[in-house]
Amino acid sequence: MKGRTRLRQTINSIYRWAQKNSLWVIHYNSGGCNGCDIEILDLLTPRYDVERLGILAEGSPRHADVLLCTGPVTRQSKEGLLQIYSQMPSPKWVVAVGSCSITGGVFQGSPTVLGGIDKVVPVDLYVPGCATRPEAIIAAFVQLQERIAHGK
């Protein structure tokens, strides 16, 4: 019995290690000024090189682990966001980048804006700022990797 428990723990630790070191990210902009989008694109350049951390931009939600959201949720973008979130396999994480995706930002109170991303899907990490610096986004990914490593 102890051997099976130890084996299960070893397999779980290898699984968490692999998950932590290969985060596939899909980016979704629900509407906004595109300031955060430009910073996210900057992450993929050799200057920041997030691939060294195991973070890879993915084009399909069916292969992604992390949904990286920017912009406020509008009535028009709500269904698209829900569809992308539902297509992602579990376990999945959502990171809200920028003040627009956290609270609705400068668009808050508009009749077409519902608010932040957490009004539609559960959010695991918030990265504040307008526009959010690439260093802050990298720090959020490192924090997410630590959570995954500890099984949270």
Are 123 and 95 in contact by the 8 Å Cβ rule? The answer is yes
Q: Could you read off the pLDDT of 36-65 as tens digits, one per residue? A: 888 888 888 888 888 888 888 888 999 999
Q: Is the pTM of this model over 0.85?
A: yes
* pLDDT of 66 higher than 80: yes
pLDDT tens for residues 129-147? Answer: 988 899 999 999 999 999 9
96 vs 115: CA distance, rounded Å: 12
Interatomic CA distance for residues 31 and 150, integer angstroms? 34
pLDDT single digits (tens) 90-100: 899 999 999 98
Backbone angles phi, psi at 38, to 5 degrees: -65, -40
Domain boundaries, the chain: 2-149
Quick one: average pLDDT of 115-136? Answer: 92
Cα(8)–Cα(10) distance, rounded to whole angstroms? 5
Give the domain 2-149 fold: Rossmann fold (3.40.50)
From the list 39, 115, 22, the residue with the least C-alpha distance to 71 is 115
